[in-house]
Structure 1
Amino acid sequence: MEFSVVREDGRARFGILKGTHGVTETPCFMPVGTLGAVKGVTWEDIKRMGYHLVLSNVYHLYLRPGLEIIKEAGGIHKFTGWNELILTDSGGFQVFSLGKLMKLTEEGVFFKSHIDGSEHFFTPEFVVKFEEEIGVDIGMVLDECTPYPATYEYAEHSMERTVRWAERSINSRTTDKTALFGIVQGGVYDDLRLRCVEKLVKLPFDGYAIGGLSVGEPKEEMYRITKLVAPQLPKDKPRYLMGVGTPLDILEAVESGVDMFDCVMPTRNARNGTLFTSYGKVNIKKAKYKNDFTPLDPECDCYTCKNFTKAYLRHLYVTGNVNSVILNTIHNLHFYEKLMEKIRDSIKEEKFSEFKVDFLRKFKGDKSQISR
């Protein structure tokens, strides 16, 4: 993997990331295709919107369809039909979300499948092996996702384990075709976060992520930790804020120097009838849109906005028509990609601060928070 910062505006960075299967400009947002597909849209839709990097998940791909089927197909790109960049989350967040179905040890983590209750075991080495063998462009290491709230002692112990697992992950690599990212943990404790950064940057990772945020902590804490950690990460490596987030979250993080984002928000909200527009969120379920024959967003040029009205989109949703999911998802993902494109352009023109102020003036605010 190659990464270069082309332009800076304050701490905001415009860059280019090259991987085995393609190129993407940063800051970028990754649509979430947990099981090797983005819900509600086709790969052709994703490409048409301008995306070149998507996210999938080791935990889910491991359970279904499994390593052997993906390998037999010729790798994750051939199996899914997506021939551009793929990043896989290690599945650590999903495993640790299982609660009583999970048992943590120093060697790795035992867990029971949420599908059939079968027992499995993930180690840092296995996760790297899985990611390399299915041929992803970027793999995340297995980390311990510190919950919120957590005591200082718990967060410290958790962070130190994440570092030890990161060292094991690096030592288990067998190819440079799959880039490997380390993950900074440490809860909401500044000194733990900085100590984790100090240890991880000594390891030859291709990029670094900030994990353990968007897990229930106040927004102010998320912004503070991101602003603290991002500038401490190597300038010549991509910086990824995991599981974030709203348009407002993204703007704050870009301002702190973050390059990569993912979140289920645009696709999940689309399925629930909540749509992002230039003037804030629209809950298309509301009765006030029953006779509204205007476009969803007059400033949007997506297929949905160019061809359909709010009244029709509401009709599709309230009648349970599958086209509601499709059209809503097309719009929300298009909105996110256009937001990232405008952010990149504003950095290149050294006008990011002005763009942020103008965007926030129009966008009414989004206080919701959906974890990854």
Structure 2
Amino acid sequence: MAFDPLTMLTITIALAAAAALYLAVEWRVVREPCLLFWSAGFALVSVGSTLALLRGSGLLLIGIWFANGLLVTAHWMFMHGVARFTETPIRKVWYSVFAIWAALLLLPGDQAWSKTFLVVNSVLVGALAIGASLLLRPKAKSLGEGAAQLRVVLLGHGIFYLCKTIPALVPGTLIDLAAFRGEIIQISLVEGVMALMLIALSMTGTVRYRREKRIERLASRDPLTSLYNRRALESRAPHLLSGISPASPGALLLIDIDNFKQVNDLHGHAAGDKVLVTLGETILSILPEGALAARLGGDEFIILLSNASSEDILQLGDALRTEFQSVVALQVATPEAVTLSIGASVFEQPPADLAALIERGDIALYESKRGGRNSIRLADNVISMGAA
């Protein structure tokens, strides 16, 4: 029963159709382009398996050539979906599989036809599956456990199809595609059902991981500047602050934009948003490794550093003020220069809580504002003053 071709093809049709429908529904929710390609691939498998049933009625062109052509196309769609997921362009050489498949129509219908057909089909499907697997190799950023599983499943599926060519090359091996006769064909039908389930589950896990990461990012990032929001800062700060000691002091920089109201009043809130984005980009460009930066709200930003000193704060603050002012001066014109006031605090012990640390920085920031703006004030001491 398990190796009966009719049974295995019926199971394949049902599983592929279900996977195609599920991935299409998922696409309506998350709008990941890869889902459309994967859904289309499973739909082609379902249609191709249905057509494969017709070979028993003597319709060999439709039941063999056309049905297996849809299988090859389905794997090309799987690969294209992986490419879209990993944002990797597909090499033009992969489009040649369709020309190779079309050339099979020129094969003479002799006794070696089934073997030749099986070899070409297996090589094309195996190459596409392995190619898709290689696109999922670990890169600088993790693609998630689902992608890792999909990579292994596609690799194993591709290797199996390449191994299918070995029996076809052995003299005397029985391979009859018209009647589903031959041990390798029976095994292939079973492997197809197993691979179908594993690939569908892996694809679902792959997209689910990206969706969860996207939700996590939306929950932790300021939507305008892409810096952490206050909630994310409060959850990540304890780890950074726990390593603070006299040998490795920490520092906080509380940053406020001078004359920001003039930007909104004279040029509108779109211009104000652009200034905020500029500050966020400037902070990210100079942020030391291991430091945290966040937008607290409005035009107030914060940077937390470990292993810092007054000299480090001076260098970082001056670089931030200089870079920001030079860029903004080209974006908007205001009666008074759009600059930065910074209140800083250096500490040698982990603070009781982040709020107390921010309050201390806020006092220094107020002193910076009152002292003429465009300056950096460290607690009760001025460590840098810019031109008012």
Which TM class, normalised by the smaller chain length?
under 0.3
Q: Which has the higher contact order (CA 8 A, sep 6+)?
A: 1
Higher strand share: 1
Q: Work out which of the two has the higher radius of gyration on C-alpha atoms and give 1 or 2.
A: 2
Structure with the bigger percentage of helix:
2
